[in-house]
């Protein structure tokens, strides 16, 4: 029986096998629903904006996400 760790490893391996940005986008779009894909792209932008020092409320407004989502991103970055 596979474990969650094995599933994660399989996912990472699958994504790393993609040869170029278009293939990676196709792989992600195949794995995620349109809403999940959009949310993942926004979460990456949250990280980028936090790293640039953009205030959390401004990030939430710019990206159309809740302040709790931005705060979660901030905590994730602090945990690196």
Instruction: Please report, in angstroms and rounded to a whole number, the separation of the first and last CA atoms in the chain.
Output: 31
**How much is the mean pLDDT over the chain?**
94
pLDDT for residue 79: 84
**Rounded to an integer, what distance in angstroms lies between the CA atom of residue 76 and that of residue 65?**
16
Confidence of residue 59 (pLDDT cuts 50, 70, 90): very high
Residue 80 has pLDDT above 70, yes or no: no
Q: What is the mean pLDDT of residues 14-28?
A: 96
pLDDT of 11 above 90: yes
Domain residue limits, the chain? 1-31, 33-79
Instruction: Please give the Cα distance from 43 to 29 (Å, whole number).
Output: 16
- Output the six-digit token pair for 80: 């690196």
| CB-count burial class (<10 Å; 0-12, 13-18, 19+) for 1 | exposed
Mean pLDDT value across residues 27-52 = 96
């Amino acid at each position: 029986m596979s474990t969650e760790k094995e599933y994660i490893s399989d996912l990472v391996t699958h994504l790393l096998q993609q040869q170029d940005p278009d293939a990676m986008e196709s792989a992600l779009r195949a794995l995620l629903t349109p809403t999940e894909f959009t949310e993942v792209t926004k979460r990456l932008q949250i990280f980028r904006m936090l790293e640039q020092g953009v205030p959390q409320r401004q990030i939430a407004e710019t990206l159309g996400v809740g302040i709790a989502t931005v705060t979660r991103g901030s905590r994730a970055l602090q945990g690196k």
